[in-house]
Amino acid sequence: MSDLPPPGAWASPSTARNREPILRALKPRLPSRGLVLEIAAGAGEHAVYNAALLPDLQWRPTDGDAEALASIAAWRDHAGLPNLLAPLRLDASDPDAWPVERADAVVNINMIHISPWSATQGLMAGAGRLLPSGGVLFLYGPYLEADVETAPSNLAFDQSLRRRNPAWGIRRLDEVAALAAAHGLALSERIAMPANNLSLIFRKA
């Protein structure tokens, strides 16, 4: 499969850079078989890359944006992977309306800081309801941490996000973890990633 985007698909240089380290963090923490639900899959590049390298897992990409869904569908048609399921429209902030009944793992890459807090609230509520005992919620992105100096690049990024939309911004890790815990999801691992990002592993109690 070529990395060049097919007609109708988006491509991101940052995805090309971070997809390998993300998969290295993600792969050993996923079940050997089952359904992975990706919330806010964006262009669909992570979905195609991960599904290709995790053939024993079914990968269900979702997004709330019609153009993103079209990009995901274009990548899916181009890749022709039997385990990459058709994308579904899903609003993270409205978990009661999610068109999915269950998932063995939930993956969310680079959404929490580029969405209102209500999207994170919905993500935790939905994941807490769908996941089985021991099921994994995997988050990737930048976070603000108590007693950890924030990189200047992340401070500048946070300011730029808030200028674009006052409801956006890099979230505090302790607040995200507390919200997750309220839905039965315990933070079990914090993994430092390139470019001052983190992978966070939550497990359903």
- pLDDT single digits (tens) 170-191: 999 999 999 999 999 999 999 9
Cα(18)–Cα(195) distance, integer angstroms: 9
What is the C-alpha to C-alpha distance for residues 172 and 145, in angstroms, rounded to an integer? 6
Q: Are strands 197-204 and 185-193 parallel, antiparallel or unpaired?
A: antiparallel
Task: Give the pLDDT of residue 14.
Answer: 86
pLDDT in tens, 139-156: 999 999 998 999 999 999
Cβ(39)–Cβ(107) below 8 Å = yes
Instruction: List, in order of start, the domains of the chain with CATH numbers.
Output: 13-204 (3.40.50.150)
CA pair distance 63, 158, nearest whole angstrom: 23
Proportion of the chain above pLDDT 90, given as a percent:
92
Taking only Cα atoms into account, the Rg of the chain, rounded to an integer number of angstroms, comes to 16
Model confidence at 2, in pLDDT bands (50, 70, 90)? low
The one-letter code for the residue type at 123 is L
pLDDT of amino acid 3: 66
pTM: 0.96
